[in-house]
Amino acid sequence: MSTPAKRPAYEPPGRLLRPTGFDPDMKRPVTTVAGAVLVFLRAAVGLLFLAELGLNWNVVAMQSTIEIDGLTDAEAAGVGLTLLLVIGLVVVVADVILGIVILRGHNWARVVVMFLSVISIATAFGAWWAEDLEITLKTSLLSTALDTLILLALSSRSAAAYARRHEQR
pLDDT over threshold 90, residue 81: no
Q: Which of 120, 164, 148 is nearest to 17 (CA)?
A: 164
Residue 58's pLDDT band (cuts 50, 70, 90): confident
Domain total in the chain: 1
pLDDT tens-digit series, residues 37-46: 999 999 999 9
The residue count for the chain? 169
In a domain? residue 3? no
Report the C-alpha gap between 72 and 66 in whole angstroms: 10
In a domain? residue 34? yes
Residue 38 belongs to domain spanning: 28-163
pLDDT tens-digit series, residues 112-142: 999 999 999 999 999 889 988 888 887 788 9
At residue 104, what is the residue type?
Answer: R
- Coil vs helix vs strand at 150: helix
